[in-house]
Amino acid sequence: MGGQVSIDENVYVVIVGGGFGGIAAAQHLKHHGVPFMLIDILDAFHHNVAALRASVQAGFAKQTFIPYKETFGLNFLQGRIIQIDNTETQTVVLDNGKQVRYSHIILCTGTSGQFPGKHNSVDTYQSAIQKYEDLFQIQEANTVVVVGGGTTGVEMAAEIRTEFTNKNVKLCIHTQIDFEVADPDLLPSVKEQAKQVLLEKGVELLLGQKVTNLDELELNVCRKGMVVKTNKSEQVTADLVICCTGNKINSEAYRSSLTACMAENGALKVNKHLQVEGFDSVYAVGDCADLDEPKLAYHAGLHAAVAATNIINSLTGKSLTSYRTGNVTMLIAMGKDAGVGQFNGYKLPRFLVTKGKSQSLLLWKSWREMGQKAPN
């Protein structure tokens, strides 16, 4: 292949995490003939941008998981990394005791959070698909409470009301500014537009209210008569409670070995080349990189290209490239028929977001990049 480079036999890149950043880095290295191993806890890439729709639309979940083996073959290993040895031995250690040597490492560990927005357990994709199908019991619930007014909560509430227009959907929003919804980095006009779409769809907004008994509630299971309590002494009776809060940087793989390089939130401090501070051969991309920008699949892909390119450049004697944050680009799918967002800091018309993201959730893009055909 014309893009391949001549490299030393000791070069071996380990990519920790097979999310959007991980598969982008793997494809880049594969194209250039750089030996690598992609390691993830699942045996398939999860296009989690579509995870919420998978929980409300029967049969949809199978489109959101793309097997790694069919794309990367022997360059994929399933398992959970619990330690990175960054001494002279340079190995990663899996929870089953297996060790994998590396010359360079790209950390793409992402964030962990509540199901259905995130799926963070060691699993087969067939089992993961079934978990989303099981949540389809939403059809049995009359009143659904979605906890969390961030982007995930907004999308979840909108997906439910789009698919089930007869459901009573309440969205609990607890922010410093009561009337704001979605990501705080969005333009005020885009956040206001998201709020209007929710209201148009018939979602009831419980503004400025924090659920106080979340630990006592059974999540993602239809249970008639559950009582949701808030800090404003309000009680809401629900048949189904879905939590869309609490995403955290997934630092388990590097917590013990790169503690000195971690920011307070668990992300890794990086330089302009996305190298972890103090380590020329360790890169962090996506959510686990401590960069002042929203945590988005779009950004993870940009980071991955920089990290993989810099590994190749370091092997061929070329200068390293730099990553620079830009104006916020974010598209929020609010059901298949609506969406709001902005591009490079400018508000987009709703119809463009709907056509560009909401209808397909960009699933076609991931299947194409993985070189596979989506199931019907």
Residue 179 has a pLDDT of 65
What is the pTM (predicted TM-score) of this model? Answer: 0.93
Residue 45, SS3?
Answer: strand
Q: Does 348 fall in a domain?
A: no
Q: Which alpha helices (DSSP H) does the chain contain, by range?
A: 20-31, 51-54, 69-72, 125-134, 151-163, 188-201, 297-316, 350-353, 363-369
Tens digits of per-residue pLDDT, 206-223? 988 899 999 999 999 999
Q: Is the same domain home to 259 and 124? A: yes
Q: Is the pLDDT of residue 57 over 60?
A: yes
In this predicted structure, what is the pLDDT of residue 192? 95
Distance CA 13, CA 23 (A): 13
Is 360 contained in some domain?
no
- Helical (H) or strand (E) element with 205: strand 204-207
Largest separation between any pair of C-alpha atoms in the chain: 67
245 vs 227, higher pLDDT: 227
112-121: per-residue pLDDT in tens?
988 898 887 7
> Who contacts 365 (Cβ-Cβ below 8 Å, separation ≥6)?
none
pLDDT digits (tens, 9 = 90+) for 178-197: 567 888 899 999 999 999 99
Whether residue 359 lies inside any domain: the answer is no
Residue 110 in domain: yes
Q: How many domains does the chain have?
A: 2
Q: Are residues 123 and 18 located together in one domain of the fold? A: yes
Residues 150 and 77 in one domain: no
For residues 282 and 103, the answer to whether their CB atoms sit within 8 Å is no
Q: Are residues 165 and 123 in the same domain?
A: no
Give the per-residue SS3 of 61-105: HHHHEEECHHHHHHHEEECCEEEEECCCCCEEEECCCCEEECCEE
Percent of the chain with pLDDT over 90: 81
Task: Report the CATH number at residue 197.
Answer: 3.50.50.60
**pLDDT range class, residue 1, cuts 50, 70, 90:** very low
The reply to whether 361 falls in a domain is: no
Same domain, 259 and 241: no
Residues 21 and 122 in one domain: yes
Distance from first CA to last CA of the chain, Å, rounded? Answer: 33
Please indicate, yes or no, whether residues 117 and 88 belong to a single structural domain of this protein.
Answer: yes
Residue 2, classified by CB atoms within 10 Å of its CB into exposed (0-12), middle (13-18) or buried (19+), is exposed
pLDDT at 4: 73
| Domain end point (choices 326, 344, 364) | 326
Averaged confidence pLDDT in the chain = 93
Render pLDDT for 73-131 as a digit per residue (tens, 0 to 9): 999 999 999 999 888 889 999 999 999 999 999 999 999 988 898 887 778 999 999 99
Q: Which residue has the tokens 């199978």?
A: 62
Alpha-carbon distance of 226 to 243, in angstroms, equals: 14
Which 3 state secondary structure label does DSSP give 26?
A: helix
Is residue 177's pLDDT more than 90?
no
Q: 298-321: per-residue pLDDT in tens? A: 999 999 999 999 999 999 999 999
Residues 300 and 209 in one domain: no
pLDDT, tens digit, 9 for 90 and up, residues 136-169: 678 889 999 999 999 999 999 999 999 999 999 9
Residues 263 and 210 occupy one common structural domain = no
Query: In whole angstroms, how large is the CA radius of gyration of the chain?
Result: 21
SS3 for 17? coil
pLDDT of residue 153: 95
Residue 46 lies in a domain: yes
Question: Does the pLDDT of residue 227 top 80, yes or no?
Answer: yes
Q: Which one of 216, 246, 276 terminates a domain?
A: 246
The reply to whether 307 falls in a domain is yes
The whole-number pLDDT of residue 2 equals 46
Q: Which two tokens stand for residue 45?
A: 């890439």
Residue 7 lies in a domain: no
The answer on 260 and 306 residing in a single domain is yes
The Cα 136–Cα 58 span in angstroms is: 6
Same domain, 119 and 210: no
Q: Please tell me the distance from the alpha carbon of residue 358 to that of residue 225, in angstroms, as a whole number.
A: 33
CB atoms within 10 A of CB 341: 28
Instruction: Give the residue numbers spanning the domain of 194.
Output: 140-246
Q: Are 206 and 236 in contact (CB under 8 A)?
A: yes
For residues 223 and 312, membership in a common domain is answered with no
- pLDDT score at 121: 78
Q: Is the dihedral of CA 25, 36, 251, 45 positive or negative?
A: positive
Of 220, 246, 272, which one is at a domain's C-terminal end?
246
